[in-house]
Amino acid sequence: MNIVNYPDPVLRQRAKPLTEINKEVYLKVEEMMELIYQAQGIGLAAPQVGWSVRLFIIDVDGDLHGEKVFINPVITEEVGELNKEEGCLSFPGIMGKVVRAQRIKAQAYTLKGQKIEIEAEGLAARAWQHEIDHLNGCLFIDKMSPASRLAISHQLKEFERSYKGTRIPV
Ligand code: NI
């Protein structure tokens, strides 16, 4: 398992709901945990490892019920706006400003199949919105401020130029 980079087409697909939490899911989540740890990332969505299901990992301090793995997540409320820099593990070296809600309420299932409701703010709220976008095939470059987008346009072209399309589906 590897992290796939822009412009891999899997990043543009709408991911499917996860209907069963089985051994295969546990094993893949374990591998994703290893990848996010190695990359020192904050969030990693399943499509970023070529697995097009509605699951992501968020690893930040804060009140997320002590959970890191969120399955079939839905944001139910968004409050406020904040324009801040963010990055993405599928765009190594790229940062840009994106407007996100300041606080969110959301629902998801845990790896144990329990439905939970969370309230998040700050980095956790930003990460949630970023990862939900991944599940809908939306990338942070789509929402970047025009100035940020312009500033990274050369780097994006370089990603597109060097993309080899060698991803092996999992
Ligand atoms: Ni990302």
Measured in Å, residue 21 CA sits from the centre of ligand 1 at: 23
Calculate Rg over the CA atoms of the chain: 15
Q: Give dist(CA 29, CA 31) in Å, integer.
A: 5
Look at the domain 9-162 and name its fold.
Peptide Deformylase (3.90.45)
The mean pLDDT of the chain is 94
Measured in Å, residue 134 CA sits from the centre of ligand 1 at: 7
Q: Average pLDDT of 136-147?
A: 96
Q: Average pLDDT of 135-149?
A: 96
Residue in 30, 117, 131, 160 annotated catalytic: 131
Measured in Å, residue 46 CA sits from the centre of ligand 1 at: 10
Task: Confirm whether 117 is a catalytic residue.
Answer: no
Measured in Å, residue 42 CA sits from the centre of ligand 1 at: 9
Burial environment of residue 24 by CB neighbours within 10 A (0 to 12, 13 to 18, 19 or more): exposed
Q: 71-112 pLDDT, tens per residue?
A: 999 999 999 999 999 999 999 999 999 999 999 999 999 999
Q: 20-62 pLDDT, tens per residue?
A: 999 999 999 999 999 999 999 999 999 999 999 999 999 987 6
